[in-house]
């Protein structure tokens, strides 16, 4: 068998996702087909390229060597196809390719993007692996990606990718059975879950190490097992496991979502995009983070200083404005965050910078939340 670009794409997908199952889904293949293809590639090369571990598939030393040569080839082929199509006028109708690690805000974001670019072909790619999405942005397979980064487990941000931070430090809540004694309280302490079995999804970058770090810091050593968050609800409802969850998560039958005391588990939310050409020529050779943040120390630049990034040509002939995409994301995220009673109470109590992007809550809204005391309302 002769190696082809499609084989190199497969190797890159396995390395980026860390899983044959997820790589097959990304490539539009079945897992058995991808497994067979990988075996044939390894037979052709003459060595094993990936080792199967509990947490997924990891490149062997030979695999890393092959990937170092494969990635530039795949990136150049992607660029070649895009440029040829552009010259042939096949992209005149524009594509807007967005990715996300999964959030209830994605629906509202898509709605706003389609209103902004009504003639563009807008697509969404969901992947639990933030690192895989960042690689897709760097390889020009996605225009932007909305991802989260677990505190204490930094993501591998490729060169040429910049970040616009939406929330610098967002708390992660916990999902537990409604019958759990701790579910009777509005806020749960980690110590109350010391005897429980925790479950994390190994496909979510940084989730396992981040949870273990927090548990160890609290002097706890509960059993941590691996599973798929998509199928975890039944296990949580039965009391078999407790799991970390997003504060915007919707409660399901038999499942309670509660904040953790002191917010020990946190993530950073940001939008990744390819850097503007001028930003790629810094002293270090990599793109800096864009100064578009909701934190107290940094504010968004004005329109004159923030030139839009030309990711692809839109149907109207103009460039895609990543700052505008970020603004649509912020609006969509606030909408879903404010719809969650527990999370909006947290936002108001902690004077979250996310509130600064929106109209401040009214006295009536604070009254409903039970937060309209002297400390919250001037």
Name the band, by pLDDT with cuts 50, 70 and 90, for residue 211. Answer: very high
At 155-193, the pLDDT tens digits run: 999 999 999 999 999 999 999 999 999 999 989 999 999
Task: Identify the weakest region by mean pLDDT among 57-71, 113-127, 342-356.
Answer: 342-356
In 3D space, the residue among 60, 62, 49, 61 whose CA is nearest the CA of residue 10 turns out to be 49
Q: Where are the alpha helices (DSSP H) in the chain?
A: 5-17, 20-27, 31-45, 61-87, 106-116, 130-138, 207-217, 233-237, 322-338, 341-349, 363-369
pLDDT of residue 254: 92
pLDDT of residue 103: 87
Q: Check if the beta carbon of residue 10 is closer than 8 Å to that of residue 57.
A: no
pLDDT of residue 359: 54
CB atoms within 10 A of CB 111: 13
pLDDT of residue 312: 42
Q: Check if the beta carbon of residue 106 is closer than 8 Å to that of residue 114.
A: no
Q: Counting Cβ atoms within 10 Å, is residue 376 exposed (0-12), middle (13-18) or buried (19+)?
A: middle
Name the band, by pLDDT with cuts 50, 70 and 90, for residue 42. Answer: very high
pLDDT of residue 311: 41
3-class DSSP assignment, residue 301: coil
Average pLDDT for residues 47-51, to the nearest whole number?
Answer: 92
| DSSP per residue, 87-119 | HTTTTTT-EEEEEES--TTHHHHHHHHHHHSTT
Average pLDDT for residues 79-106, to the nearest whole number?
Answer: 76
Has residue 282 got a pLDDT over 60?
A: no
Average pLDDT for residues 322-346, to the nearest whole number?
Answer: 87
Separation between Cα atoms, residue 150 and residue 170, nearest integer Å: 10
pLDDT of residue 362: 56
Instruction: Give whichever of 229-238, 267-276, 341-350 has the largest mean pLDDT.
Output: 267-276
- Distance of alpha carbon 149 from the chain centroid: 7
Name the band, by pLDDT with cuts 50, 70 and 90, for residue 256. Answer: very high
Average pLDDT for residues 364-378, to the nearest whole number?
Answer: 43
Backbone angles phi, psi at 99, to 5 degrees: -130, 160
Has residue 301 got a pLDDT over 80?
A: no
pLDDT of residue 292: 36
3-class DSSP assignment, residue 162: strand
Has residue 101 got a pLDDT over 60?
A: yes
Q: Residue 198 has what DSSP assignment?
A: E
- Distance of alpha carbon 77 from the chain centroid: 26
Q: How confident is the prediction for the chain on average, in pLDDT?
A: 80
Has residue 284 got a pLDDT over 80?
A: no
How far does the chain reach from its first CA to its final CA, in angstroms?
A: 73
Q: Check if the beta carbon of residue 208 is closer than 8 Å to that of residue 229.
A: no
pTM value is: 0.66
**Residues in Cβ contact with 139 at an 8 Å cutoff, skipping those fewer than 6 apart:** 12, 71, 74, 75, 78
pLDDT of residue 356: 62
Average pLDDT for residues 308-333, to the nearest whole number?
Answer: 67
Task: Identify the weakest region by mean pLDDT among 80-89, 259-268, 345-354.
Answer: 80-89
3-class DSSP assignment, residue 23: helix
Beta partners for residue 126, in sequence order: 100
């Amino acid at each position: 068998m002769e190696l082809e670009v499609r084989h190199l794409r497969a190797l890159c997908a396995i390395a980026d996702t860390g899983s044959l199952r997820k790589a097959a889904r990304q490539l539009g293949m079945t897992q058995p087909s991808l497994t067979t293809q990988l075996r044939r590639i390894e037979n052709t090369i003459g060595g094993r390229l990936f080792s199967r571990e509990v947490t997924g598939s990891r490149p062997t030393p030979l695999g890393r060597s092959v990937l170092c040569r494969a990635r530039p080839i795949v990136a150049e082929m992607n660029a070649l196809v895009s440029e040829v199509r552009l010259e042939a006028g096949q992209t005149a109708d524009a594509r807007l390719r967005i990715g996300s690690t999964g959030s209830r805000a994605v629906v509202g974001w898509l709605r706003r993007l389609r209103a902004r670019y009504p003639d563009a072909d807008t697509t969404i790619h969901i992947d639990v692996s933030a690192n895989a999405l960042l690689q897709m942005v760097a390889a020009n397979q996605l225009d932007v990606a909305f991802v989260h980064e677990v505190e204490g487990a930094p993501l591998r941000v490729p060169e040429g990718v910049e970040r616009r931070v939406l929330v610098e430090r967002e708390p992660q809540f916990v999902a537990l059975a409604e019958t759990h004694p701790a579910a009777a309280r509005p806020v749960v302490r980690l110590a109350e879950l010391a005897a429980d079995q925790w479950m994390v999804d190994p496909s979510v970058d940084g989730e396992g190490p981040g949870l273990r770090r927090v548990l160890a810091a609290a002097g706890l050593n509960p059993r941590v097992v691996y599973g798929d968050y998509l199928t975890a609800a039944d296990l949580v409802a039965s009391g078999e496991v407790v799991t970390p969850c997003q504060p915007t998560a919707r409660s399901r039958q038999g499942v309670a979502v509660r904040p953790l005391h002191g917010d020990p588990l946190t993530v950073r939310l940001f939008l990744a995009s390819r850097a503007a050409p001028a930003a790629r020529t810094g002293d270090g050779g990599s793109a800096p983070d864009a100064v578009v943040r909701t934190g107290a120390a940094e504010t968004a630049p004005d329109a004159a200083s923030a030139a839009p990034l030309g990711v692809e040509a839109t149907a109207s002939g103009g460039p895609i404005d990543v700052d505008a995409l970020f603004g649509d994301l912020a609006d969509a995220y606030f909408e879903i965050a404010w719809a969650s009673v527990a999370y909006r109470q947290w936002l108001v109590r902690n004077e979250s910078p996310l509130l600064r992007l929106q109209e401040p809550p009214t006295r009536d809204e604070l009254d409903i939340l039970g937060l309209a005391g002297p400390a919250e309302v001037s």
